[in-house]
Amino acid sequence: MKKVSLTGDRPTGPLHIGHLFGSILSRRELEDKYESLVMAADIQALTDNYEHPEKVRENVYEVIADNIAVGLNPNKTTFFIQSQIPQIAELTVLYSNLVTVNTLKRNPTVKAEIAQKSDLFGHKGESVTYGFLGYPISQAADITFCRASIVPVGEEQLPMIEQTREIIGKFHRLYNCDIFPRPEAKLSQAPRILGLDGNAKMSKSLNNAIYLKDTPEETIEKIKTAKTDSELRPVYDPEKRPEISNLVLIYGLLNNLGPKEAGNEVKNLNYSQFKTKLAEDLNKYLEPIRQKRAELKLVQLKEILESGRKNALKKAEETMSFVREAMKIDY
């Protein structure tokens, strides 16, 4: 039997080129080697968007369309919606006994997000909800309900995978069983793309992203106004000149060049010439993706998600029978 690969996207907005190079492209490589599942993590998205459920709902279809447009094959990959697999919620409750509140508070990714969302969770995180603080547990449930061995993600997700391993270890020890494989992250060649403003993360909430579904004109405009520095020529020197280095990195990814090579290739251009070339190359690269995306119909997406739901449910029930037995709740 093939090993399982699972990953998820929070449906809070359409996907951007950070997702593309950070994660989606590596999903394509896994499709043939693993039994692959890709989930729209709507429950996780609600942990910090519970005031705006309509936004989450709309974006479920957007992120699935993005994944398919990039070239994932719905006949090979199972696409599904997190909330349609109630066993994930059930596992979250069962695992929550195995994780301390202090461990959750120390999770570096959660910590950074709480600091970023001070309007929602308070300036010192004093109003953080139980649900948000606990989302790494729910993510462990995502990864384990289908007994995944491999999780293609960006590097900021590593603490979640570590947390999942800890839960699995404790579960196996306490309940004297061996149900789950030890999940490993699969990082792609470019795990982190900065925002166009130089922020450490390209993200919808920071308004510093280029979306797969942006028009060519929007893309040109965004590249034009992307932050650089007061030097004249592009270079790859991420320590000293992070913003321009990020653009050089993107240029390299588009042209199959390592970042240093990419820097070398464009070192004689001025910033404006470089940005024009970068925007052109980016538009060329995104053109087939945009075209495919425009052709996808909502009914098609719904069909894909319905057959994905059935597949995922089968796996979930199988796992639950082992888990219930191990925890002695198999009445």
Contact residues: ligand TRP, CB under 6 A: 6-10, 41, 44, 139, 142-143, 151, 153, 157
Give whichever of 42 and 243 is closer to ligand TRP, judged by the CB atom: 42
- Tell me the closest approach of the beta carbon of residue 206 to ligand TRP, in angstroms: 14
Give whichever of 223 and 323 is closer to ligand TRP, judged by the CB atom: 323
- Tell me the closest approach of the beta carbon of residue 73 to ligand TRP, in angstroms: 20
How far, in Å, are 3, 33, 194, 200, 205 from residue 242 at the CA level? 38, 36, 8, 9, 21
Q: Give 7's strand partners.
A: 38
Contacts for 244 with CB less than 8 Å, ≥ 6 apart: 228, 229, 231, 234, 235, 271
Give whichever of 143 and 262 is closer to ligand TRP, judged by the CB atom: 143
* Lookup result for tokens 């929007």: 218
DSSP percent split of the chain into helix, strand, coil, nearest 5: 60, 5, 35
- Tell me the closest approach of the beta carbon of residue 323 to ligand TRP, in angstroms: 18
Contacts for 207 with CB less than 8 Å, ≥ 6 apart: none
Rounded to whole angstroms, the Cα distance separating 88 from 8 reads 13
Give whichever of 49 and 228 is closer to ligand TRP, judged by the CB atom: 49
Give whichever of 38 and 223 is closer to ligand TRP, judged by the CB atom: 38
- Tell me the closest approach of the beta carbon of residue 158 to ligand TRP, in angstroms: 11
- Tell me the closest approach of the beta carbon of residue 142 to ligand TRP, in angstroms: 4
Nearest-CB residue for ligand TRP: 8
DSSP string, 102-122: HHHHH-HHHHHHHHHTHHHH-
